[in-house]
Amino acid sequence: MKVLFARFAQLELKDAIDYYEDKESGLGSRFKQEVKKAALRVAQYPKALPIERDDIRKCRLYKFPYKLLYSIEPDHILILAVSHQRRKPNYWVK
- Tens digits of per-residue pLDDT, 1-50? 899 999 999 999 999 999 999 999 999 999 999 999 999 999 999 999 99
**Burial level of 3, CB count in 10 A (0-12/13-18/19+)?**
middle
Q: What is the pLDDT of residue 91?
A: 54
Say how many residues make up the chain.
94
Are 64 and 38 in contact, with CB atoms under 8 Å apart? no
> What would the mean pLDDT of 50-65 be, rounded to a whole number?
94
Q: Is the pLDDT of residue 93 over 60?
A: no
Q: What is the pLDDT of residue 63?
A: 92
What domains sit in the chain, N to C, each tagged with a CATH number?
3-84 (3.30.2310.20)
Instruction: Compute how many other C-beta atoms are within 10 angstroms of the C-beta atom of residue 45.
Output: 10
Q: What is the pLDDT of residue 81?
A: 95
Q: What is the pLDDT of residue 92?
A: 57
Instruction: Compute how many other C-beta atoms are within 10 angstroms of the C-beta atom of residue 39.
Output: 18
Q: What is the pLDDT of residue 86?
A: 76
| pTM of the model as a whole | 0.90
